[in-house]
């Protein structure tokens, strides 16, 4: 399980938070599949979906290699719900299950240099969809309880005996992580910031970028560089090999650790600002 998308906070990845409707089949009526299909059709940027039945080896007939992979992946599943977009499939039983409430709380948080903090409602990464006739008021109840909930408070709530889990070992494994996750986020965000700094062009490269900017300005008749000129500057500054503007912007965002927010011209302006150009 790669954690790269988690800290890129990209909309290309979505993790599904849902309840298993019985011990063998999570979606007995197809309602979850229909909700997922409707969501993906509206969110055109999605390229990767995490749905545990399909993404983690399941069942009693797993090979030794699959069991080993599952044992490595399950303890780190919380990382997906910290940074990816999250689709919450809300039904009436969602409120009593450990994994669903844990995933919902994680989706309400954001990774910052100060640690794991509750995200403003306008910047939430999660999308709530009601299934099985669940009333919309339940989405408000979920936000009321978990939006703004601190790590300590989440630990207390999820430790409660009325929050049930099929395998108690899962709860025992994940609960301590709630309290230690804040320092993990601080460390990873510091590492990301260091990586971003080292990706900035050196003074020698900067002179080359300045030349590229001047050349772009010349191509623009001495005026403000247009979008393609800006892409060329970014491409040379970060030594990007691809040529298609969309791919250049995507790779530049990844190198700089920036989210792909807004239209491509807006992203280009953000990149130039981060590069100090």
Burial of 185 (0-12, 13-18, 19+ CB in 10 A): buried
Percent of the chain with pLDDT over 70: 86
Is 259:9 a contact under the CB 8 Å cutoff? yes
Q: Where are the domains of the chain?
A: 4-193, 203-274
Cα angle 251, 122, 134; round to 5: 110
Mean pLDDT of 21-27: 92
**CA atoms of 46 and 68, how far apart (whole Å):** 29
At residue 140 the predicted structure's pLDDT band, cuts being 50, 70 and 90, is very high
DSSP assignment, residue 15?
A: E
pLDDT tens for 49-70 read 999 999 998 888 889 999 899 8
């Amino acid at each position: 399980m790669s954690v790269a998308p988690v800290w890129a906070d990209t909309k290309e990845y979505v993790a599904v938070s849902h309840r298993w409707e019985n011990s063998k089949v999570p979606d007995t009526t197809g309602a979850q599949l229909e909700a997922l299909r409707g969501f993906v059709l509206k969110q055109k940027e999605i390229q990767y979906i995490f749905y545990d039945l399909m993404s983690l080896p399941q069942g009693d007939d797993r090979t030794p290699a699959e069991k080993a992979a599952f044992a490595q992946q399950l303890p780190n599943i919380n990382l997906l719900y910290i940074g990816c977009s999250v689709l919450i499939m809300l039904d009436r039983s969602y409120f009593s299950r450990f994994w669903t409430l844990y995933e919902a709380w994680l989706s309400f948080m954001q990774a910052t240099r100060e640690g794991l903090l509750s995200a403003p409602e306008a910047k939430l990464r999660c999308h709530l969809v009601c299934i099985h006739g669940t009333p919309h008021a339940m989405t408000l109840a979920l936000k009321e309880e978990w939006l703004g909930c601190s790590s300590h408070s989440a630990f207390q709530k999820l430790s409660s005996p009325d929050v049930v889990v099929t395998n108690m070992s899962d709860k025992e494994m994940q609960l301590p992580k709630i309290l230690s996750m804040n320092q993990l986020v601080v460390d990873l965000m510091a590492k990301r910031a260091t990586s971003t700094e080292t990706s900035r062009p050196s003074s020698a490269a900067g002179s080359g970028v300045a030349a590229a900017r001047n050349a772009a300005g010349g191509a623009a008749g001495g005026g403000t560089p247009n979008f393609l000129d800006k892409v060329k500057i970014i491409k040379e500054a970060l030594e990007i090999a691809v040529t298609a503007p969309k791919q250049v912007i995507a790779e530049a965002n990844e190198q700089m650790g920036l989210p792909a927010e807004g239209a491509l011209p807006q992203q280009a302006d953000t990149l130039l600002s981060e590069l100090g150009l």
